[in-house]
Amino acid sequence: MCKFFSLSTGKPGTKERGLNLQSASFRSGEKTLDSLGEKTLDSLGQKTLDSLGQKTLDSLGQKTLDTSEQKMLDTSEQKMLDGFPMPSPAKPTAKLRFVDVAVTATANEFAGIYRNKQYHQADFDAVIHRALAAGVAKIMLTGMSLSDVSFNLEIAKRHPAICYITIGVHPYHAAEADSGDEAYLDRLAQAVDRAIQLDPCPIAAFGELGLDYDRLNRSPKEAQLRVFQRQLHLFVKHRFDLPLFLHCRAAFDDFCETIKPYLPSLPRRGLVHSFVGTCAQMKVLIEMGFDISVNAFSFRDQASLHMVREIPLDRLHIETDAPWGEISANLDVAKRYLVNAGPMPPAKKRDRFQLGAMVKDRNESCCIERVAFITAGLRGVSVEEIAAATWENSIKMFRLGHEPTQAEHLVKMRPYPIDAQIDELDQPIESQSAPKSTSQSMSVLEAMLKNNVVSKISILSRRPVSMVEGTKDPRVSVIIQEDFSKYDSTVTSKLQGASGVVWALGISQTKVSKDEYIKITKDYALAAAKAFAPLAPANEVFNFVYVSGEGATQSAGAFTPLFGRVKGETELLLARLGTADPRLKAISVRPGFVDAKAHASIHPFIPSPGVLENVARTLLASVFRVATPEKCSPTQPLGRFLVEAAMGEYDEQLKSSTAEGGLTIVDNAMFRKLAGLD
C-alpha cells in the first residue's frame, strides 16, 4: 500500500487552493454556460409562466384564500397563542452568545444531497462560519451511529473549543446496532474511550440514544428498546464521565420505564433534546434530573408551547437541530415573536448554490437567535435572559470549556464576509497573495480518493477543504498549514511514512508582485522538498512531483516571461536537492492547456474567476480544443497521471525522458503519451 499527500492552500470564501500559471489562466466555460443558459430559461420560460399562469391562479384562487381561508388561519393563530404574551421581545442591546446543542453535521443536506440527488458541494465549514458570526460560539455535533464518529471528530479537531461531538446510536439507527454484530457496541465504547483521552477533549455527551415511535419504518420498536437499554447498560458499565444526550418522541412511557432503573448510576444525568410534549411530561423528566432542550419542533402545537413556557429557566437549553427544524415565517409564533429578530444571511436555492450563502429551506446554527426570540416571547421575558441562561446551562452540563477568542477564530476559520458574492470570494481578506484553487489541484485530489492502492491521504491547506468535507473516507486528513516556508515536527510527524507528494501550489504572475510570486512558486517548493525528503520509509525514495507548466525553461532569455524563468529555476534547484539528498526524487510535470470541460465532478469546487475572465477563458479554450488539441491537458487523466507519478508507477518509462540538470522532465507530449491520449 502507498501513503502520500497532496498540497492545497486556501483563502477566505473559496475552495481548496493549489495551482500553477497554466491552470490559473485557462478555464473552460462551464459557469458561463450556466449563467447564460439559466438566465435565458428564466427570461423565456418563467416570465411566460408568471404572466399566463400565475395571474390566472391569483384571480381565481387567491381572493378566496384572502377572504375565507385567511380568516380561518387568523382564528387558528389566535387560538394557538391564547394566553401567551402579545408583544415580540425587544431587540437585544448587546451581542448575544449561544450554544447550539444539536446539529447533525453528517446529514445529507450538509453534503449538498437532497432526496438522493446531489445539488451542490459540501459546505459545513461555511455553516460554522455563519454560526460564529451570529454569536454561536459552541456547536455540538450529534452522533447518529458509529459511522458518524470519525467524520464528526475530524470537524471537532479542525475547530477545537468551538465544535464538540456526541457518540451514540440514534433510534433511527437501532436496527444497525441490532443486526447481530455483537461487537458493535464494544466498538462504540472504544470510540468513546478514545475521544475522552484526546486533548482537548472533544466529546460532550453520550448519545444520541432513546426512542422514536414516529419513525418505526426506520427501526422497529423492539429493536429501539433493545438498543436503548443496551446503550444504557454499556454507559453504566464503563462509568463514562459524561451526561446523556437523549431522544424521546411519541414514546414517553416506554422511555421513562426503560431509563428509570439506571438513574442512580447517571451522576451527570443529561439532556432530553428537541422535546415535544406536555407540561406534565416535561415535569416528570425534570424530576428525573434531566434538562430539556427546545427548537422549532417544540413550537408547533399548543401543548408544547405551554411546556416551553413552563420549563424551569435553570434547566432550559436551545438548539436548531439543523439541518432540520427550520422556523418558517408563516408559523404563528414567528409572526408574533420574530418582529425584532435580526436579519437572516442571504440564501440561495439548492440548485443555484453559492458558497457563502445559506441554502433555502435548510436550517443552520446561525438561525438559533430565532429559537431564542420565540422562547423568550412565549415566556414573556427578554431574549438576553434566555440567551444568558441557556448559555450557562449548556456550558455547565457539557463542560464546554472556554470561549474561543476572535484570534483563535481567525486561525481556524480564515473568515470571509457572510454577504460575499462568488466574485468577491476570489479576493482574499488578509493578503492579495493567497494562491487559488484550480482544476489541477481538484483533479489530483479526486484521483487520490479513487485510487484504492493509496492507504493514506494527507492534505496540507490553509483552510478546511470543501471537496473532502462530505466524504467519510478514513484515509483522508486535512492538516492546516499557515506558513509554507517551514514545517515543524508536529506537521512532519503526521506525514511520516508518506511515499510522495503532488506539489500543486502556485499563483498567476499577474496577481502578485514579482517577489511574492518567486516566494510562492520557488521558495515554498524548495522548503517543502527539503522537509519531506526524510519522510519515506527506510530504503525508499520520496517522490516529489512538481507541477510546472509548458514554457518553463532553465535557459531563460531576455524575453522569457517571469513564470517560465522562475519555474525553470525551481526545477533546476530541485534537481540539485535530489543530487545532494538521494532520498529525494524530483519529477517536474509541464502540462499544456489545462482543460476541465469534460471533468464535471470537479466543477463545483473551482471558484468563478468573474464574468469577463470566464468569457475570455471560454473563447481561448475553444481555440485550443479545435486548433491544437495536442496542446491540451484534460484534467481527469492529468490528475490520475500526477498521482501515479508520485507512486512511482512511471519510473521505468521516465528513464528515457529528457532530463535537465538531473531532474526528470515530463512535458505535455510525454504526459499525453503515457496517459494514453496520443
Q: Are 435 and 524 in contact (CB under 8 A)?
A: no
Q: Are residues 396 and 504 in the same domain?
A: no
CATH number, domain containing residue 23: 3.40.50.720
Predicted confidence at residue 657, as pLDDT, reads 61
* Residue 515 is assigned to a structural domain of this protein: yes
Mean pLDDT split into 10-residue runs, the chain, 678 residues: 47 32 29 35 39 38 41 56 93 94 97 94 92 94 95 93 96 93 92 93 97 94 97 96 97 97 94 97 98 97 97 98 95 95 94 92 97 98 97 96 40 25 23 48 84 82 76 81 88 88 83 88 93 86 90 81 90 89 90 84 69 61 72 89 87 68 81 87
> Which of 363, 388, 412 finishes a domain?
412
Number of Cβ atoms within 10 Å of the Cβ of 451: 17
Q: What per-residue confidence (pLDDT) applies to 620?
A: 67
**How far apart, in whole angstroms, are the C-alpha atoms of residue 215 and residue 104?**
17
Q: Are residues 347 and 235 in the same domain?
A: yes
Category of 441 on φ-ψ map: left (φ > 0), alpha (ψ -120 to 50) or beta: alpha
> Does any domain span residue 478?
yes
- Do 182 and 329 belong together in one domain? yes
- The closest alpha carbon to 318, from 406, 391, 383, belongs to 391
Phi, psi of 329 (to 5 degrees): -65, -15
Query: Could you tell me the pTM of the whole model?
Result: 0.54
- For 308-323, the pLDDT digits (tens) are 999 999 999 999 999 9
Cell numbers linked to 432: 492579495
φ and ψ at residue 665, rounded to 5 degrees = -110, 125
- What is the distance between the alpha carbons of residues 678 and 673, in angstroms, rounded to a whole number? 5
Asked if 420 contacts 133 with a C-beta cutoff of 8 angstroms, the reply is no
160 and 22 fall within a common domain:
no
How many separate domains does the chain show?
2
Provide the β-strand partners of residue 585: 543
Q: Are residues 118 and 154 in the same domain?
A: yes
**What tens digit of pLDDT does each residue of 18-51 get?**
322 222 222 233 333 333 333 333 443 443 334 4
Task: Name 559's Cβ contacts closer than 8 Å, sequence gap at least 6.
Answer: none
Q: What is the pLDDT of residues 474-498, one digit of tens each?
A: 888 888 888 889 999 888 888 888 8
Location of C-alpha cell 484521483: 447
The boundaries of the domain holding residue 387 are: 98-412
Helix locations, 419-523, DSSP H: 422-425, 439-450, 489-495, 514-518
Give the span between the Cα atoms of 558 and 552, in whole angstroms. 14
Residue at a domain's end among 358, 380, 412: 412
Closest listed residue to residue 468, CA positions, set 441, 506, 492, 490: 441
Task: Indicate whether 672 belongs to any domain.
Answer: no
The four Cα atoms 140, 146, 152, 153 give a dihedral, to 10 degrees, of 110
Q: What pLDDT, on the 0 to 100 scale, is given for residue 274?
A: 97
459 in the same domain as 345: no
**Pairwise CA distance, residues 7 & 569, whole Å:** 21
Locus of grid cell 487559488: 436
- Point out the domain boundary residue: 412, 436, 462: 412
Residues 580 and 616 reside in one and the same domain? yes
Beta bridge partners of 113: 118
| Helix-helix angle 221-238:252-259, to 10 degrees | 30
Cα–Cα nearest to 19, from 482, 507, 460: 507
Distance separating alpha carbons of residues 345 and 366, to the nearest angstrom: 8
| Rounded CA separation 8/480 (Å) | 10
Task: Indicate the average pLDDT of the chain.
Answer: 81
Whether residue 238 is contained in a domain is answered as: yes
Q: Is there a contact between 174 and 212 (Cβ–Cβ < 8 Å)?
A: no
Percent of the chain with pLDDT over 90: 50
Q: Are residues 445 and 405 in the same domain?
A: no
Evaluate whether residue 156 is within a structural domain: yes
| Confidence (pLDDT) at 8 | 42
578 Cβ neighbours under 8 A, 6+ residues apart: 584, 585, 586, 662, 663
Query: Are 364 and 441 within one domain?
Result: no
Query: Do residue 215 and residue 291 come from a single domain?
Result: yes
- How far apart CA 72 and CA 194 sit, in angstroms, is 56
- Tens-place pLDDT, residues 286-300: 999 999 999 999 999
CATH number of the domain within which 292 lies = 3.20.20.140
Does residue 58 form part of some domain? no
- Strands 163-167, 136-141: pairing is parallel
Length of the chain: 678
The pLDDT of residue 240: 95
Question: Residues 285, 347: one domain?
Answer: yes
Q: For residue 264, tell me if it sits in a domain.
A: yes
Question: Does residue 123 contact residue 112 with C-beta atoms inside 8 Å?
Answer: yes
Residue 678 counted as domain residue: no
**Which residue's entry shows cell 429557566?**
313
Please answer whether residues 567 and 549 qualify as being in contact, where contact means their C-beta atoms are separated by less than 8 angstroms: yes
Q: Residue 91: its pLDDT value, please?
A: 95
Same domain, 579 and 619: yes
pLDDT in tens, 539-557: 888 999 999 988 888 777 7
